[in-house]
Amino acid sequence: MPSVSRPSKKQAVRGIMWTYASYYSGKIMIFLSTIILARLLSQDDFGVAGYAIVIISTLKVLSNLGVGQALIYHKEEEGAADTAFWLGLAISLILFLITWFAAPLIGSFFDDPRAIPVTRALIFSFPLTSLGYVQDMLLRKKLSFKRKFIPDLSRSLAKGFFSIIFALLGYGAWSLIYGQLIGTALASIAYWIIVPWKPSFNFNPRLARIFLGFGANIVAVNALSVLLDNADYLAVGRYLGAASLGVYTLAFRIPDMLIMQFNALIGKVLFPFYAKIRDDNDGLKRSFLYTTKYISLITFPIGFGIALVSAPLILTVFGEKWVEAIPVMRSLAIYSVIISLVYNAGDVYKAQGRPEILTRLSILEGTLLLPALYFSVRFIGTIAAVGWARVSIAFVLTSLDIIIASRLINASFKEILKALTPALGAASIMAVAVSLTLFSMQDIMPTIQLIMSIAIGGVVYIGGLWLFQRELLLEGYATLRNALVRN
């Protein structure tokens, strides 16, 4: 039997780079389109579309019941991909029908009948996604992230472009829905063109049971996680209304795009990578500490920076109409940084076949978060309070996650703290410099404040690393350079 080659750090880094490039090449267009749409659409438009988006995002975890990740984890076997394809398609169609008929309940939940038609329209994204889902998983399993570039880019470009076109034509909230559907359809078409594998009418019930068995734990973890990730959107939409949901959604766009999605993209690379080295405890520990160190070098300065420049950023990019988003963006940026501390711990748990750890942590998070959100929307009644509720619970859960992860991979708390120290130290110096810059430029227009803060903050952060962590920068540069050089 042929041996399975052990993935190298170079493969993982190259995979992260290609995943990051494909995602953010498209996200540049999405970001530009968001700027335009924020000026074309109202807070209410964003909120109405947000009803459907938050529901679909919450249900998305169920669309394939973990079949794709089971395919990645399962050893190569004839008929596995075919079984995964038909099983995933059947599941997505069933979920489509259930959601279609349950849409009136969604309208009742938000106390807004406008939620019904937009949810029924956006639910078409489930079967559209499932058509290219297995091709996507096969590329991830082989760590062929370079080939995912075109489908991922097609989705993002189409979503941004068509949303703007429909907004200009006066479709309001529907412009966001139509853009998302077109982007999803084009991505699936691109996967069929790029990946040579095509499904045959081959379905193996034994493999289906194995996939569903493995996927059940993954879905239980992800379902709780996704529900909790969207709990703030659900609470804001139900109790504070469409306009508040629109502001909250926009405030989360930049922290989510630059930090949360960066973490999620790395996770897509790390899970198959960790799965391949799950029997190498020392290698798993080194990989975890290595990725923690370099992830924090990116997320810390971005998160602290967004929190500090949220006022000039909102005013410059989105306009005064969205001034209510400033305190929300500030809190959500801090939340994103806290989450990034041990984001890759979940991939370690899953790769070692211990997803139940994530289930227990999610249950604890729900026990703490849901009452905090309810108090925020019912008694304080502001979206800023919702954001800070997120921060407080994230701090508690992340501290616990660090303890569990350190025990599982036999890494001491000191080793994890050492991995985070370079980013924390340099980002703290940067924060002082940016704060002084903003204080000295209070009477200057927001655009100049934003440009100067970013420039000074970037120079101070890189300069701090160069003075105190020069070897780290040189190591990172060498790793990126080697990842770009083909064998």
Nearest CA among 188, 186, 187, 230 for reference residue 60: 230
Half-sphere exposure of 276 (CA within 13 A, CB side): 20
Beta strands in 321-363 (DSSP E): none
Domain of 144, in residue numbers: 1-229
Nearest to 346 by CA among 418, 295, 417: 295
Identify the CA nearest to 45 among candidates 322, 252, 327, 388: 322
Q: How far is CA 100 from CA 96, 341, 347, in A?
A: 6, 38, 33
In a domain, 157, yes or no: yes
Q: Is the CB of residue 394 less than 8 Å from the CB of residue 342?
A: no
Among candidate residues 229, 264, 292, the one where a domain is terminated: 229
Spatial distance between the Cα atoms of 211 and 74, rounded to a whole number of angstroms: 8
Q: Which residues contact 194 (CB under 8 A, 6 or more apart)?
A: 135, 147, 150, 151
- Tell me the pLDDT of the chain (487 aa) as tens digits: 334 444 545 555 555 555 556 555 666 777 788 888 888 898 999 999 999 999 988 888 777 777 777 777 666 777 788 888 888 888 889 999 999 999 999 999 999 999 999 999 999 999 999 898 888 887 877 766 667 778 888 888 888 889 999 999 999 999 999 999 999 999 999 999 988 888 888 888 888 887 777 777 667 667 777 888 899 999 999 999 999 999 999 998 888 888 887 776 665 555 455 555 555 667 667 777 777 787 888 889 999 999 999 999 999 999 899 999 999 999 999 999 998 877 767 666 766 666 677 778 888 988 999 999 999 999 999 999 999 999 999 999 888 888 887 777 777 778 888 888 888 899 999 999 999 999 999 889 999 999 999 999 999 999 988 887 777 777 666 655 654 454 4
- Cβ atoms of 191 and 60 within 8 Å: the answer is no
Residue 310, token pair as written in the block = 């949220």
- Examine the domain organization and report whether 179 and 248 are in the same domain: no
Q: Tens of pLDDT along 416-442? A: 888 888 888 999 999 999 999 999 998
Specify the DSSP class assigned to residue 322.
G
Q: For residue 176, tell me if it sits in a domain.
A: yes
* Residue 237 included in any domain: no
Considering the domain architecture, whether residues 294 and 203 belong to the same structural domain is answered as: no
Give the up-direction half-sphere exposure of residue 106: CA atoms within 13 A in the CB hemisphere: 25
Buried b (16+ CB within 10 A) or exposed e, 177-205: bbbbbbbbbbbbebbeebbeeebeeebbe
Handedness of CA 319, 324, 330, 335 (dihedral sign): negative
Q: Report the alpha-carbon distance of residue 203 to residue 315 in Å, rounded.
A: 55
Would you state the pLDDT for residue 398?
Answer: 86
pLDDT digits (tens, 9 = 90+) for 182-204: 999 999 999 999 888 888 888 88
* Cα 321 from chain centre: 27
Looking at the structure, do residues 205 and 310 belong to the same domain, yes or no? no
Assigned domain for 234 exists: no
- For 107-160, what is each residue's pLDDT tens digit? 999 999 999 999 999 999 999 998 988 888 878 777 666 677 788 888 888 888
Angle at 20 between CA 87 and CA 472, to 5 degrees: 130
pTM of the model: 0.78
pLDDT number for residue 156: 82
Encoded tokens for 392: 């407080």
CA–CA distance from 291 to each of 9, 298, 415 (Å)? 10, 11, 13
Predicted local confidence at residue 2, as pLDDT: 39
Residues 294 and 177 in one domain: no
Based on DSSP, count helices (H) and strands (E) in the chain, helices before strands: 22, 0
Tally the domains of the chain. 2
Do 176 and 248 belong together in one domain?
no
Pairwise CA distance, residues 379 & 385, whole Å? 10
**Domain identity same for 298 and 191:** no
CA distances from 375 to 113, 361, 380, 389 (A): 26, 22, 7, 9
Q: Confirm whether 159 is domain-assigned.
A: yes
Domain final residue, candidates 195, 229, 263: 229
The reply to whether 193 falls in a domain is: yes
Q: Is 68 inside any structural domain?
A: yes
| Cβ atoms of 57 and 253 closer than 8 Å | no
Look-up of token digits 């927001």: 446
Instruction: Answer yes or no: do 91 and 180 share one domain.
Output: yes
**The pLDDT value given to residue 59:** 85
- Tell me the backbone φ, ψ of residue 111, rounded to 5 degrees: 55, 40
Kindly state whether residues 154 and 44 are assigned to the same domain: yes
Same domain, 348 and 291: yes
* 219 and 261 belong to one structural domain: no
Answer whether residue 236 is part of any domain: no
Domain boundary residue among 206, 229, 252?
Answer: 229
The verdict on 129 and 35 lying in the same domain is: yes
From the list 48, 46, 50, the residue with the least C-alpha distance to 322 is 46
CB 39 within 8 A of CB 293: no
Q: Do 436 and 291 reside in the same domain of the chain?
A: yes
- Residue 232's nearest CA partner among 103, 328, 154, 298 is 328
Angle made by CA atoms 402, 404, 406, in degrees to the nearest 5: 65
pLDDT at 485: 53
